[in-house]
Amino acid sequence: MNDTEPIAVLLVRGGTLPHGADEAVAEAGGLVLLAGEDTKAAAGLLTTATRVWTVETGTRPPGPLATALAPLLTDRRIVLLPASPDGRDLAPRLAVALDRPLLASALAVHSGGADLIGADGRTLMDAAVLGPFVATLEPGLRGAEALPESPEIIELPPPDRSVGPDAEQSALLTAPPGQEQLDQAARIVAAGAGLGTGELTGQAAIALLEQVGTALGAAVGATRVVTDAGWTGEERQIGTTGVVVSPELYLAFGISGAAQHVGGLGRPAHLVSVNTDPHCPMTALADLAVVADAPTVLAELARRLTPEAPRD
């Protein structure tokens, strides 16, 4: 694997590629190291790779995984991971293990650094680096064209399991209904700016949304406008610079459907949009479009679904 060409690194879970995999591989010029479980099956899912190295590491915490992978990557000037949840966990640890800087949240990388998306999500910065670096690439922004040829696949021996310390898992806690991690939720009710337009404040609208979410067994998500306004925490932001989700049911209240939001939405089997604008992108995408005032619809749903609410 000794080469100065850039390389993408993808963590594979049960043969499944992370969000943004093909974009990261395309940005790295087609070269990729797949680590994790069922990496050969995952290699067959890539559409932009020219050469794939696979290494079966099984599941292990990101610290030991980074220590195990670092020797395979020392000669690579640019090591690129998608800014998926696993990519964001592994990248800083790889940067430490490789003793080089991390350029997080890139739109593109080049030999002298990366174009980074600023913390406000609206500005671009040119980060210049003299030596080698690790970077994460924001999914959903670059796009990637599929290549006609299948890639060359090279299997590497599994690395030593005993390397590297990391935090120990003491218990696995299950979140209460409606509060599970967004990226694992099968149902999501989500708030956009349009939900805070009625008599309710933004925070009160979110509290009502949480009630409805609990009644439906759905997690609560939000757009960036909503998290920026502080109505709910940033961990609830869905989109290319937030959590990437793949629910079966998505209920969007007052969400316009901007590309950066929809880019993190996956492909819900059932998408409902409650919006006063019948022509906004979210309504155009929806299976069921409710053209109505979002706070009013939410209040009515809460009245009907919450146990203490009076029934008609």
Tell me how far apart the alpha carbons of residues 146 and 52 are, in angstroms, rounded to a whole number.
15
Q: For residues 95 and 117, which CB has a smaller minimum distance to ligand FAD in the complex?
A: 117
Regarding beta strands 124-128 and 113-117, do their DSSP bridges make them parallel or antiparallel, or are they unpaired? Answer: antiparallel
CA distance 233 to 223: 11
Q: With respect to ligand FAD, which residue has the nearer C-beta, 94 or 225?
A: 225
| Residue 196 beta carbon to ligand FAD: minimum distance, rounded to whole angstroms | 9
Taking the alpha carbons at both ends of the chain, their separation in whole angstroms is 68
Residue 2 C-alpha from the chain's centroid: 30
Rounded to the nearest whole angstrom, what is the least distance from the CB of residue 137 to ligand FAD in the complex?
13
Smallest distance, ligand FAD to C-beta of residue 42, A: 25
In the complex, residue closest to ligand FAD by CB: 239
Quote the least distance from Cβ 11 to ligand FAD, whole Å: 21
What Cα–Cα distance (Å) separates residue 137 from each residue in 19, 38, 103, 227? 11, 23, 9, 22
74 vs 246, which CB is nearer to ligand FAD? 246
Token pair, residue 181, equals 């991690």
If the CB atoms of residues 30 and 254 are measured against ligand FAD, the closer one turns out to be 254
Taking the complex as a whole, the smallest distance from the CB of residue 140 to ligand FAD amounts, in Å, to: 8
CB of 158 to ligand FAD, least distance (A): 36
Q: Which is nearer to ligand FAD, 156 or 258 (CB)?
A: 258
Quick one: CA torsion of 49, 52, 56, 60, rounded to 10 degrees? -50
Helices (H), the chain: 21-27, 39-43, 62-73, 85-98, 202-216, 224-228, 259-262, 281-285, 294-305
Q: How far is the CB of 188 from ligand FAD (least distance, A)?
A: 13
Q: Which residues are at the interface with ligand FAD (CB under 6 A)?
A: 117, 121-122, 192-194, 197, 223-226, 237-242, 254-256, 258, 260-261, 264, 274-277, 280, 293-294
User: For ligand FAD, which is the closer residue by CB, 164 or 242?
Assistant: 242
User: Sign of the CA dihedral 71, 73, 74, 75?
Assistant: positive
Nearer to ligand FAD, 159 or 268 (CB): 268
Radius of gyration of the chain (CA): 21
Amino acid at 21: A
Burial 193-214 (b: 16+ CB within 10 A, else e): bbbbebebebeebbebbbbbbb
